[in-house]
Structure 1
Amino acid sequence: MTTIEAPRTPARPARKGVNWEKWGWIYMRASGLVLIVLIFGHLLINLVLGEGVKQIDFAFVAGKYATPFWQVWDLLMLWLALIHGGNGMRTLVNDYAHNRTVNRILRWAIYAAVIVLIVLGTLVIFTFDPCPAGAAADQLPSFCPAR
């Protein structure tokens, strides 16, 4: 006689430790909601209010990055979007790259790209200086005092 397991019986015993897939799933939902607010706020301020896209130039970005509020706003948008996108790409690789070596290479490439872009984007946001010291006066924007 053959015994049939109950339908909800786990195929293998539960693993101990952190369930990274569950937390990745939760992160995708939470970051998606926050990104909707951040992105539509960004579009509203930069494109809808004011003069639209023609107002966006070097001086506009310099003015925005002169305030900590916009630095933090853009930093949150950058970090959440890159981690959200990287997690989505990791999920696609896990779903479609069945060869273990290819899967591992692709996942590490995604992690590396996300880390490099987060570091570079963060550096741009916090080190942006529209009026660098020692620059030639003819290379400075018109709103910079002559140094």
Structure 2
Amino acid sequence: MSTTEFVAPRTGRIDSKYNRATTGRGRFEMIAWLFMRLSGVVLVVLIFGHLFTNLLVDEGVRGIDFGFVAGKWADPVWQFWDLAMLWLAMLHGTNGLRTIINDYAEKDGTRFWLKLVLYIATAVIVVLGTLVIFTFDPCIPGSALEVCK
């Protein structure tokens, strides 16, 4: 029978073979874990604010149309609100999928390609969404909108 020393929890003493916090990857995973918690809280506030504004104020769902979006995005506050919601939701979801890929993809090559596709898709959606928010112009050439005249 061998004698093994058991270290009491929370003593601050960690066996060196289990100390992963000193590596760069361990630190990244801790930051990613913390980001998921903080972004989740912020997303709840952003999403409920978005839903309240779009669904409960004025005419509700019946009032959402092209003009509603054009009026909303004419205000920089709503542009920033929707941009923050887009970026946080995409990064939050990407981080979650990255974790799932790390957990379930067994081969290094499979893991690499899945994460590459994930990162490319995320970059494309974030760039396109950002461009839509900041370059949105309600004045379509030839339109009969009074705002554009």
Q: How would you bin the TM-score normalised by the shorter chain?
A: 0.7 to 0.9
| Pairing 1:142–2:145 present | yes
Instruction: Name the residue aligned to 1:49.
Output: 57
Q: How high is the TM-score relative to the length of structure 2?
A: 0.86
Matched, 1:116 2:124: yes
1:1-147 aligned at under 5 Å gives the runs 2-6=2-6, 9-14=15-20, 15-17=22-24, 19-132=27-140, 135=141, 137=142, 140-146=143-149
Residue 100 and residue 55 in structure 1: after superposition, are their counterparts in 2 closer, same or farther (change >3 A)?
A: same
Separation of aligned partners in 2, 1:52 and 1:75: 22
Is the partner of 2:111 in helix, strand or coil? helix
Residues in 2 aligned to 1:20 and 1:32: alpha-carbon distance in whole angstroms: 18
Deviation at 1:13, TM superposition (A): 4.8
Q: C-alpha displacement at 1:125, in angstroms?
A: 0.4
Q: Which runs of 5+ in 2 are unaligned?
A: 8-13
1:141 and 1:91 map into 2 onto residues whose CA distance is: 49
State the Cα deviation string for residues 32-76 of structure 1 (Å, max 9, x = none).
000000000000000012111110100000001101000000000
Alpha-carbon offset, residue 9 of structure 1: 2.4
Aligned-partner residue type, residue 139 of structure 2 = C
Contact 1:130–1:141 (8 Å) recurs in 2 = no
- CA-based RMSD: 1.8
Q: Report the AA paired with residue 4 of structure 1.
A: T
Runs of at least 5 residues in structure 1 that lack an aligned partner in the other structure: none
SS of the aligned residue for 2:137 comes to coil
Aligned residue pairs, count: 141
Inter-partner Cα distance in structure 1 for 2:35 and 2:133: 24
Percent of residue pairs bearing the same amino acid type: 50
Distance (whole Å) between structure 1 residues aligned to residue 90 and residue 144 of structure 2: 31
